[in-house]
Amino acid sequence: MAAYFTDHRTAVLVGVVLVGVAFLAFLDVVHRQVGGWAVADDRLARLAQSSAVLAVAVVLIGLLLPYAGLAYVVGAESPASAKGIFSLTLVSTPLLALPLAAAFAAMAWAGHRRGVDRRWFVVVTAVAALLFAWGACSFQASGPMSPDVQQQVVFQTLVIWLVCAGIAGRRRAAVA
């Protein structure tokens, strides 16, 4: 494992920066989504936005920091510690999934209360919230409820939701 991070140092560090930028863009998508639904209850908007910020903090500290550390120096200078540090990125998944579940539940509830015209997207957001809530419980040592499996579920769900948000946003822009 240490050899991978050492051999792919530049690619990992570039990936860390790109993922960091992508998650900052995710904050903008959440802000626009909540604002676009003109939430009557500011508490839902604050919950969605603060939970999204917390999720980004978990990604930065729980995933990107260990990856950068492993690629920068740890993989080369302390290869025996690589597996332990990498394991921290896996157990960050339940910690990441919890604020994502809160953010997406707040957005889905806001969209439901607002009665938005893109009901399908409210349903997609609610399903994502449920998948994230499921991922927040993923502490089994192995199997479908292990952090390494749920990490794939959480990130793939997020990617699918972002694609759907793009489609929903384009349709809204085309109607306007």
User: pLDDT band at 43, cuts 50/70/90?
Assistant: confident
* pLDDT averaged over every residue in the chain: 90
Average pLDDT over residues 7-33: 93
Indicate the pTM of the whole model.
0.88
Average pLDDT over residues 4-20: 96
CA 119 remoteness from chain centre = 22
Lowest mean pLDDT among 30-34, 84-88, 132-136: 30-34
Domain boundaries, the chain: 2-175
Q: What percent of the chain has pLDDT over 90?
A: 75
* pLDDT value of residue 38: 62
- The residues, ordered by sequence, that sit 6+ positions from 164 with a Cβ below 8 Å of its Cβ are 121, 124
> Is pLDDT above 80 for 94?
yes
- The residues, ordered by sequence, that sit 6+ positions from 24 with a Cβ below 8 Å of its Cβ are 56
In whole angstroms, what is the distance from residue 110 CA to residue 97 CA?
Answer: 20
Tokens of 114: 């607002």
Residue 161's Cβ-side half-sphere holds a number of Cα atoms within 13 Å equal to 28
* pLDDT value of residue 80: 93
- Taking only the tens place, the pLDDT of each residue in 114-150 is 877 789 999 999 999 999 999 999 999 999 999 999 9
* pLDDT value of residue 169: 78
